[in-house]
Amino acid sequence: MATTQIKICLGSSCFSRGNNANLEVIKQYLQDNKLEAAVAFSGHLCEEKCSRGPVVSINGHVYEEVNKSRLYKILQEELPC
């Protein structure tokens, strides 16, 4: 059963400003680390935080202005090994 939850904003602002790439980074990271079964990964629509996007949430922690290099660090900190 998945114990970790990742939610990524797929609203047009977040998506065009970085979550299009972040989406692929997360999918690849889960695949490379064989975490697909342990992590529930889903998208959501705009949550009115566009000016601070791209927005990614992991286990209820909301990360704003997430770029690719920051995302790697966040994934390493938040996800089970």
- Give the DSSP per-residue string, the chain: ---EEEEEE-SHHHIIIIIHHHHHHHHHHHHHTT-TTTEEEEEE---S-GGG-S-EEETTEEE-S--HHHHHHHHHHHS--
Region from 20-28, 32-40, 42-50, 67-75 binding ligand FES, contact rule CB under 6 A: 42-50
| Near ligand FES by CB under 6 A: residue from 21, 33, 49, 62 | 49
* Residue nearest ligand FES, Cβ-based: 11
Give dist(CA 46, CA 71) in Å, integer: 19
Minimum Å distance from CB 68 to ligand FES?
17
18 touches ligand FES by CB under 6 A:
no
Kindly determine how many residues on this chain lie close enough to bind ligand FES according to the rule CB under 6 A.
11
Site residues (vs ligand FES, CB under 6 A): 9, 11, 13-14, 46-50, 53, 55
